[in-house]
Amino acid sequence: MRYNAGELITAMITPFNEDLTIDYPSLKRLINHLIETGTDAILVAGTTGETPTLSHEEEAELFKFVKETVNGRIKVIMGAGSNSTQTATESSIKAQKAGADAILTVVPYYNKPSQKGMYEHFAAIAKSVDIPIILYNIPGRTGVNMQPATIAKLAKEFKNIVAVKQSNSDLDLISEIKSQCPDDFTIYSGDDSLTLPMMSLGAHGVISVASHVQGKEIKEMITAFKKGQNEKALQMHLKLYPLFRKLFMAPNPVPVKAALAKLGIIKEYVRKPLVVLDAEEKKELNEVLNKYSYFN
């Protein structure tokens, strides 16, 4: 059976106070906003959540708070990746014990492993836990691309490796993953602007950033496509496309935090080395945001 955490998973930001501690009241407000606007599952402590600057203790507290606030309404997935296999394995075990519905684990970054090294890394993680594992392939951040053959080998050998978040603009890779992996292996787009193109090649949905602010519309686009309403889905994609692109005008999650602050859901603080948008950048972002009724 195909693993299904839903079609729209939000890679959730981590809101901060001015002193850069985690802003839990805003986080609660954000969680309820996401559920109300169509999110099927929340990913905690992914890159969008600024994990490079979160401590492991903060990640554990964050997950506990999200799990309690969600209270079974949707699934909660924990980011448990590392470029150290031992650390990634330990984090995965902790996520399972904490009650994560699944984990997302990224291709090791910076040390640039070979395909064999990637296989060994994810095999170790898969052997350490029983919960579903979503692989995360994002060569723009890791410096290396996990090949479809490696993904397929892992999917065939480990029943708990059930999906991949594919953040690679080469759509031929989606065709290769679909043709090489088991029929029930799930592909999620890792880029909002590629959701519809990837779904046309067999992706199930998206692990999204833009869903923080346009969740209902993204869900409607996905639903339209799956109902065979291709023209409607295309028109919705084209309407959302400027937003998809503008939310990455600066390093993620800086622009989406600015958008959420404009809506009054969170404050826009980020931890260094990230910095908030300057006045000119904010003006540029707002010119796009103001085209959508949600911001007016």
Given 165, 219, 246, 257, which residue is catalytic?
A: 165
Non-local (6+) Cβ contacts of 249 within 8 A are 255, 281, 284, 285
pLDDT at 294: 83
Chain segment 127-136, per-residue pLDDT in tens:
999 999 999 9
pLDDT at 293: 85
Given 109, 136, 219, 257, which residue is catalytic?
A: 136
* Chain centre distance of CA 126: 20
Q: How distant, in Å, are the alpha carbons of 1, 152, 176, 267 from that of 13?
A: 31, 30, 31, 11
Chain segment 99-149, per-residue pLDDT in tens:
999 999 999 999 999 999 999 999 999 999 999 999 999 999 999 999 999
Tokens (6 digits) for 39 = 């999110």
pLDDT at 2: 66
pLDDT at 3: 72
pLDDT at 296: 79
- Tell me if residue 165 is catalytic: yes
CATH dotted code for 8-226? 3.20.20.70
pLDDT at 165: 98
Determine the Cα–Cα distance for residues 238 and 217; give it in Å rounded to an integer. 12
- Tell me if residue 136 is catalytic: yes
Low-confidence ranges of the chain (pLDDT < 70): 1-2
Q: How distant, in Å, are the alpha carbons of 46, 132, 271 from that of 15?
A: 13, 27, 10
Tokens (6 digits) for 129 = 């836990």
* Chain centre distance of CA 45: 9
Any idea where the domains of the chain sit in the sequence?
8-226
